[in-house]
Amino acid sequence: MAPDEDPPAPPAAEDTSPPPAEALEPPEERRLAGSPHATAANAAVLALTRAARSFTLYDPANKVVRALIAEFRDRFRAVLEGFGPLVLDVHPFELSLGREVVYLERDRERSLAFRLFRDGVRRLGFAADTSWEELLRLLQILSIRYTGVRQQEDDLVTLLRKAGFDGIHVAAIEGFVPEEEQREGPLDADLLRGTRARYDAPLQWDLPLPPFPEAVALRHRAVSPELLERLRAEEAEDRVPKQALRAVAELLQQTSRADLAAVLGFALEVREYLLVEQRSDLLVELAGLVRSALAGAPDAAGAFLESWLDARTLRMLVSTLRPDETEVPPHLADLLDAAPGPSLDRLIDLLVEEGDGPRAPLLRRLVVRGCRHAPGTIATRLHGATGAPAVALLRLLAEVDPAAALHAAVEATAATDPLLQREALRQLEGAAFSPEVARGLHHLVESRHEAVRLAALPVMAARGGPRVFAALRSHVEKHAARLSAAEAEAAGQALARSSARSAAETFGEWLRPKGGGLLGKLVKMAAPPVLQRVALAGLRGVAVADAEPLLTLLAEHGEAGLRPDARAALAARPRGGSRG
């Protein structure tokens, strides 16, 4: 080396650091965050791409294809029925719903967005009432573009316009098709003259070619039945899932950092196949392989497993458990703990979907177990929930955190959902009486739903006793004009149960004429008919000194429709009863 020359630079060290999580997450399968509408659209588009690509791998009559088409139908039905029209803007590698990206795939061979954009499609709209026949026709058109070899058939815009859709609208421009990377050579002179075909050796071969020996006659050898059976066994349907799993394992062992995202995409394809084949045992093994390969990048492993352990996969894994299973199998427990937040959310969704089905107790146990990692998940989801999902969440919260459930139940009493109010009443009925519980019961007695009021009145009287009598009386007097016959009966019984003595005094104030003199003799009944019914219902069950005179007053001077009931109540009272 000359003295003036710089020494050679040392070779760069190989970068062995784990790749970031976003680099390993397969884009097309990413659960894109956003509004509920965007999330549902993401699921629908993914179902469409899976179904369209399935024709490149399976025969159209294969059960895998049928299952993916069924999922495509269900996903699109959910987004159209739940959110109305769906309008997707088409970009070179993305599909967007307004400002939210619902599909992203930069691989041109896989990307639905690229195929649409290349052929000129710029917007794809679905009306809320788009029929299944039109959706199925769209799937057929897209599958043609996926399975085409040289893409010399009509482009997507032409095929879509020929379909004559009513519910599916396409906005397009003049598309473009890039030139082929490998052009076909021109016809040589010999072929144009019709002479015999001539084949030249590739340019990289060493010429001249050596002379060939004399041709030998082709001889056939019979294959033994044992060898044929071994060959058939290699391609048997029951061996394909294990071979796919082995292919993932070999690729993960030999892949480089740059190719890891592509291998993970292949792993997701294998997951789809195992889901259709209902091989839950291999699903768990596949997850273990991916986790081992990403052991040096915990963030990347967590991000991948969050996407991998979606609702369909979780439903498949749970379906393999017995409904009466008390212990979670270790392999499933390990998988659930790897992504505790998303798996808990999806388990809650499965439980709400199950309702009162046979697997509800098992799912409830799984949710309670998952709350160890994310205790605030149920309370967070309860805010804004209504109907059956809200009821299920409130019951779950009572099992996980009784104190938080009591607070949530009191808050739910002020809601407008009758199902949630009834569940809140059920929980308050079993809680220790306190000012907070009294406030919640009072909200339920004031509910806008009569069924809730009818159920809350006896609970409030039984739990509060004399402490809630004033509130019950105020409720009756305030809403006397709107009380139905059933609610008047329930209110009277609640007043009597809360405090018999106070109830009798209140009924006397209502029924006896105010003041004396001639007006008092002429006016025999001061209370309106609704309060008379309330008093009659309460007087039936009290054994106080004033009960019998008040019933006699109702029997003689009450509303005509109530007099027979008052006389029957008098006849049913025991003679010589208690005089409190």
Reported as a single tens digit per residue, the pLDDT across 189-240 is 554 555 545 556 666 777 776 777 777 777 888 888 888 888 887 777 778 8
Is 349 domain-assigned? no
Q: Give the DSSP letter of residue 5.
A: S
pLDDT at 198: 53
pLDDT at 186: 54
User: Each residue of 169-191: b (16+ CB within 10 Å) or e?
Assistant: ebebeebeeeeeeeeeeeeeeee
Positions in the chain whose pLDDT score sits under 50 = 1-18, 20-27, 29, 149-151, 175, 177, 179-184, 191, 196, 517-523, 577-580
Q: How far is CA 24 from CA 246, 288, 290, 494, in A?
A: 20, 16, 11, 64
CA distance linking residue 439 with residue 253, whole number of Å: 63
CB contact at 8 A, 199 and 171:
no
Q: How far is CA 367 from CA 284, 317, 395, 560, in A?
A: 19, 14, 12, 58
- List the one residue out of 247, 344, 253 whose CA is nearest residue 292: 253
Give the tens place of pLDDT for each residue, 319-361.
777 777 777 777 777 777 766 667 777 888 888 777 777 878 8
Is 291 domain-assigned? no
> Is the pTM of the predicted complex or chain greater than 0.85?
no
Is 234 domain-assigned? no
Instruction: Name the residue type at position 177.
Output: V
CA distance linking residue 265 with residue 283, whole number of Å: 15
Tell which of 133, 150, 172 closes a domain: 172
Q: How far is CA 398 from CA 324, 357, 368, 455, 519, in A?
A: 21, 20, 10, 21, 59
Is 563 domain-assigned? yes
Q: Are strands 100-104 and 121-126 parallel, antiparallel or unpaired?
A: unpaired
Number of domains in the chain: 2
Is 562 domain-assigned? yes
pLDDT at 57: 67
pLDDT at 521: 47
CB contact at 8 A, 524 and 556:
yes
Instruction: Considering only CA atoms, give the Rg of the chain.
Output: 38
**Three-class secondary structure of residue 117 per DSSP:** helix
Token pair belonging to 345: 């959310």
CB contact at 8 A, 90 and 103:
no
User: Each residue of 13-33: b (16+ CB within 10 Å) or e?
Assistant: eeeeebbebeebbbbbbbebe
Q: Count Cα atoms within 13 angstroms, Cβ side, for 116.
A: 27
Domain that holds residue 81: 23-172
pLDDT at 59: 66
pLDDT at 174: 65
Instruction: Name the residue type at position 88.
Output: L
CA distance linking residue 200 with residue 198, whole number of Å: 7
Is 237 domain-assigned? no
Tell me the average pLDDT of the chain.
Answer: 78
Token pair belonging to 408: 């949530």
- List the one residue out of 340, 360, 410, 404 whose CA is nearest residue 378: 404
Instruction: Name the residue type at position 316.
Output: M
Give the tens place of pLDDT for each residue, 378-431.
877 787 778 888 888 888 888 888 888 888 888 889 888 898 899 899 999 888
pLDDT at 182: 43
pLDDT at 296: 67
pLDDT at 338: 67
pLDDT at 181: 42
Is 490 domain-assigned? yes
**Three-class secondary structure of residue 367 per DSSP:** helix
Is 514 domain-assigned? yes
Q: How far is CA 411 from CA 262, 421, 528, in A?
A: 49, 10, 35
DSSP string, 34-97: S-HHHHHHHHHHHHHHHHHHHTTTS-TTSHHHHHHHHHHHHHHHHHHHHH--EEEEE-SSEEEE
Instruction: Name the residue type at position 298.
Output: P
pLDDT at 451: 92
Helices 547-557, 529-539: axis angle to 10 degrees equals 140
